[in-house]
Amino acid sequence: MNKPFNPSSHAAASGLQNFIDGKVVLPMDERYSKVRQVWNGAIDRDPAMVALCESAEDVQAALHLARVRDLAVSVRSTGYDVAGRSVRSGGLVIDVSPMNRVEMDGRIATVGGGATAASVISTAAASSLVAVTGWHGIVGMTGLTLAGGYGPLLASHGLALDHLVGAEVVLADGRCVTADADNNPDLFWALRGGGGNFGVVTSMKLRLHPFRSMLAGMILFPWSDADKVLRGYAAVAASAGNDLTVAAGLFRLPDGNPVLFLAPAWTGGPAQGEAVVADLQGLGTPFHAQVGLTNHRELTNSFDMRVANGRHYALQTRSVGELTPNVISSIIQAGSNMSSPFSMIVLQHFRGRASQIPLEATAFGLRRDHFMIEIIASWEPAAGDDGTNHRLWARDLSRVLALFSFPGGYPSMLGDDDREQIAHAYGSNLTRLQDIKRRFDPDGLFSATPLPM
């Protein structure tokens, strides 16, 4: 597919007031305060306009206007954006949230650029199928997939991006093209891990899988158990084969006490799964263990309940090959000194099927077993609190972990200040990514995730 763009056929070419009639939000519009927001309340940007795009043609028109008026461009979907790159002050926001349809054709789902993971999960479940997503349903499926997508099916199925089979992409020059194994294969390779740095993805085709119920839930341990549980859980997971994915981490209870959690997701036989869960519980003395047969939708819903939209966030990330004593002690010390009761540290264990896919198969930069550590500083805005202490808490732990980490990091969680990590985030795939970037976006119009040029 290659849709030509004829500027004269769009009102966008004749001026701002006629641009995509009825779909442009300007600063004086009552909708403006809502459409410029992202989930991270610490991000406060004032774009020149927001184009609510309902089709690839709308996106083409918006890009034409941006080129004519020399406006910076950003792309917003559901607004779950860590660093705020989806909204640029003084720029044009291409908002694809209206493009939120999910359609089924056998085991392939066609997913609009604005669809949430939850809508994909629900649509797939109606056909007794499951989509590979992250742990949350409220995030945008496109952004999640293009960046990677660590989730509960990671060990058994890989990353979310490993199930992308094609995409419709509007390029910087206005062309609308298909990217898949047969059409623009270099672009297709780059999209899987290179993020939205190459164009606006208006729809994707995702491979779905036969539904399997999961043995999943949450196990909470007292803080006194944190060291021994973290020392033991990786060994249990590694011995369980590809049926077990376990996230771990720490947060504070409403009473202010820190706790350690394990969140297992088992996709194999129930009897064996119960034995594995028992092994995980036996790593300490849990005071809460709610693990049972569930489905993908119920699991992601339970994690969505822990996300507060509009709260202020500052995130850091590091990836380590092992949970060594130094890594564990650094995490526990930071957990004991969290600057806010809302902050968290989460460990995503990358293993199983995800690490068995060759590095060169996609643009994703790290395919060996590792733990991706999310350092999440979160706080409620208050007078006299500009977030400095919370940001320092996250950055201090990141600096300590850097001594034991791989040099890069998960691109979707890296901010513009994380230049040293960004330079290594794509590993040996960087040179090929840069070549493809220069071919498809030579002027650097798109920057959904950081990509050194």
Q: What is the per-residue pLDDT for 14? A: 41
Determine what percent of the chain falls in helix, strand and coil, rounding each to the nearest 5.
35, 25, 40
Class of domain 2-8+21-95: alpha beta
Q: What is the pLDDT of residues 42-61, one digit of tens each?
A: 999 999 999 999 999 999 99
Quick one: average pLDDT of 413-425?
88
Annotate 173-186 with b (16+ C-beta within 10 A) or e (fewer). bbbbbbbbeeebee
Nearest to 77 by CA among 196, 208, 238, 237: 196
**What pLDDT, in 10s, does the model give residues 103-128?**
999 999 999 999 999 999 999 999 99
214-422: CATH topology is: Vanillyl-alcohol Oxidase; Chain A, domain 3 (3.40.462)
Quick one: pLDDT at residue 234?
Answer: 85
Burial label, 166 (beta-carbon count in 10 A; 0-12, 13-18, 19+): buried
| pLDDT band per the 50, 70, 90 thresholds, residue 92 | very high
Which tens digit of pLDDT belongs to each residue from 126-162? 999 999 999 999 999 999 999 999 999 999 999 999 9
pLDDT at 9: 33
Residue ranges, CATH 3.40.462.20, the chain: 214-422
Q: What is the pLDDT of residues 424-450, one digit of tens each?
A: 999 999 999 999 999 999 999 998 777
Does domain 102-210+430-440 correspond to CATH entry 3.30.465.10? yes
Q: What is the rounded average pLDDT of the residues 280-294?
A: 96
Percent of the chain clearing pLDDT 70 (strictly above): 95
**For the chain, where do the domains classified as CATH 3.30.43.10 start and end?**
2-8+21-95
Q: What is the reported pLDDT for 309? A: 80
Angle at 236 between CA 235 and CA 237, to 5 degrees: 90
pTM of the model: 0.93
Parts of the chain belonging to CATH 3.30.465.10: 102-210+430-440
Q: How many residues does the chain have?
A: 453
Residue 6, pLDDT > 70, answer no
Is residue 12 scored above 60 in pLDDT? no
Alpha-carbon distance 401 to 334, whole Å? 11
pLDDT digits (tens, 9 = 90+) for 327-365: 999 999 999 999 999 999 999 999 999 999 999 999 999
The pLDDT score that the predictor gives to residue 2 is: 53
Helix boundaries (H) for 14-86: 32-35, 56-69
Residue 378: which of 396, 360, 390, 388 has the closest Cα?
A: 390
Mean pLDDT of the chain: 91
230-245: average pLDDT: 90
403, with CB counted inside 10 A (0-12, 13-18, 19+), is exposed
Q: Average pLDDT of 287-316?
A: 91
